[in-house]
Amino acid sequence: MDYSLDHDQQDLRALAADVLDRVAAPAARAADTPAPAAFDTAAWQGMAQAGLLGTAVGEDAGGTGPGPIEVAVVLREVGARATPVPALASLALGSLPVALCGTPPQRAALAPAAAGEQLLTAAFCEPGRADGGTTDPATTAHRDGDGDGYVLHGVKTAVPYGAAAHTVLVPARLDGGGTGVFLVPGDAEGLSHHPHPTGTPDPATRIGLDGTRVPAAALLGADTTGAAARVLHRCALAGLAATVSGALAGALDLTTRHVGTRRQFGRALAELQAVTMKVGDIYVAARALDAAMWAGVWRLATSGPPAGDPAAHAHEDTDHVLAAAALLITDQVLDAFYTAQHLHGGLGVDAAYPLHRLFSIGRWASSVLGGPEARLDALGRLAARDTPVHVPPVPDPPALRHPDHA
């Protein structure tokens, strides 16, 4: 399968790179971590004016999407520069799931997000639930006895730009089974924000839901079957993979330039075979992640938003491909970031050097994904779901007969 970008997507990639290189504030490239709700507003407004934020929003709300491939193109360029903007949060975790499976009023409400005037994010992580915070959450949503809405209780962790978000997508377990995703206002009563340091340019919060009330219209896609939660889960994995893919591409570029110019004992580091083999390891990891990421994003883009069940017509192996990308992030890709740091020597851990910020993106993504063990468990559950593990009964061997008795 050829996942090469078409001409329009290549133009979008060039546009995103140009906007981020020109508009991103010099302060955004400094070592200091932004305040909890702060980000590079100049770069964000530049992205909005260029139409980059509309890639996740449908035409009915002033966007050009929803386009999972186009969103991945933008996120990859943001990741390659570690630009402190809420692109992962507002595009992949917020606007895209709503655009793919929201009701018409919910999709229409995305217009301010496409214009860069409002931020969205999703609370897809929970304490101790590396893979179930979205599709099998501990957070609960009970029917409000005084009305037709819901009352939410629970805790969500590592919510990107949670303190700055106008709307937070919150997966919750429903009465009687099933999972729904709720569009919760960022200033809703009973919703509390607490800083959750990540070590990345993107701030995050821990969110508490203590009797937070939302109307029935806040239920994403009016879905109670868990289909919307599965769409959110896929968007989250695809968005993380695209962002980390860009960060690793940036780290590879920095590393190849460094070893080509850094000299020790009268020779460039790139002339040492051991160094070139290590750079090759980074390249292989980057190519592997790219292959899995684009394959998963392509499946999201070609599934379409069918009526009724937003996840029903997805490719059968969409979850498997995205789970493989997530496993790569926590294992081979994270090792590649460490290799890039090692090849830079002390410069690699300098907080003022770009590699430090690129590395922090990969490390944070691996953390929220739960590490390689959690990702292997997720792949195992998918394999068991498709082919239940069982041992068929072994028939008794045929009785041996003596030739004389034949």
Task: List the end-to-end C-alpha distance of the chain, in Å, as a whole number.
Answer: 58
| DSSP state, residue 330 | I
Q: Read off the pLDDT of each residue in 313-325 and give the average, rounded to a whole number.
A: 84
Q: Read off the pLDDT of each residue in 262-267 and give the average, rounded to a whole number.
A: 83
What is the number of domains present in the chain? 3
List the CATH number of the domain containing 316. 1.20.140.10
Q: Give pLDDT, residue 351.
A: 84
Between β-strands 179-185 and 191-195, what pairing exists: parallel, antiparallel or unpaired? unpaired
pLDDT band at 201 (very low <50, low <70, confident <90, very high): confident
pLDDT band at 307 (very low <50, low <70, confident <90, very high): very low
- DSSP for 92-159 reads IIIIHHHHHH--HHHHHTTHHHHTTSS-EEE--BBTTBTTTTTTS-S-EEEEPTTSSSEEEEEEEEEE
Residue 200 sits in the same domain as residue 232: no
Distance of alpha carbon 361 from alpha carbon 320, whole angstroms: 23
Distance of alpha carbon 381 from alpha carbon 375, whole angstroms: 10
Distance of alpha carbon 81 from alpha carbon 247, whole angstroms: 7
393 within some domain: no
Q: Read off the pLDDT of each residue in 151-159 and give the average, rounded to a whole number.
A: 96
Residue 358 sits in the same domain as residue 246: yes
Residue 254 sits in the same domain as residue 373: yes
Residue 163 sits in the same domain as residue 235: no
Residue 391 pLDDT more than 60? no
Which residue has 């851990």 as its token pair? 349
Poorest-confidence range of 26-30, 39-43, 231-235, 380-384? 26-30
Residue 109 sits in the same domain as residue 206: no
Cβ(318)–Cβ(303) below 8 Å: yes
Residue 309 pLDDT more than 80? no
Give the chain's mean pLDDT. Answer: 89
36 within some domain: yes
Cβ(285)–Cβ(116) below 8 Å: no
The domain boundary residue, chosen from 197, 222, 247: 222
Residue 195, domain extent:
122-222
Q: Where are the alpha helices (DSSP H) in 304-369?
A: 318-328, 334-344, 354-368
292 within some domain: yes
251 within some domain: yes
Residue 318 sits in the same domain as residue 346: yes
Q: Read off the pLDDT of each residue in 315-319 and give the average, rounded to a whole number.
A: 83
- b/e string for 117-146 if b means 16 or more Cβ within 10 A? ebbbbbbbbbeebbbbbbbebbbebeeeee
Q: Which of 57, 110, 45 shows the shortest CA–CA distance to 83?
A: 45
Residues of the chain above pLDDT 70, percent:
88
Q: Which amino acid is at 213?
A: R
398 within some domain: no
Residue 338 pLDDT more than 50? yes
Residue 128 sits in the same domain as residue 203: yes
List the CATH number of the domain containing 45. 1.10.540.10
What pLDDT digit, counting tens, does each position of 74-96 carry? 999 999 999 999 999 999 999 99
The domain boundary residue, chosen from 190, 222, 254: 222
Q: Which residues pair with 159 in a beta bridge?
A: 205
Q: Read off the pLDDT of each residue in 13-21 and give the average, rounded to a whole number.
A: 96
Q: Read off the pLDDT of each residue in 235-251 and give the average, rounded to a whole number.
A: 98
2 within some domain: no
Cis bond upstream, residue 104 (ω within 30): no
Residue 310 sits in the same domain as residue 233: yes
List the CATH number of the domain containing 212. 2.40.110.10
Residue 168 sits in the same domain as residue 108: no
Cβ(13)–Cβ(81) below 8 Å: no
Residue 279 sits in the same domain as residue 326: yes
Residue 193 sits in the same domain as residue 218: yes
Residue 155 sits in the same domain as residue 245: no
313 within some domain: yes
Distance of alpha carbon 129 from alpha carbon 137, whole angstroms: 8
405 within some domain: no
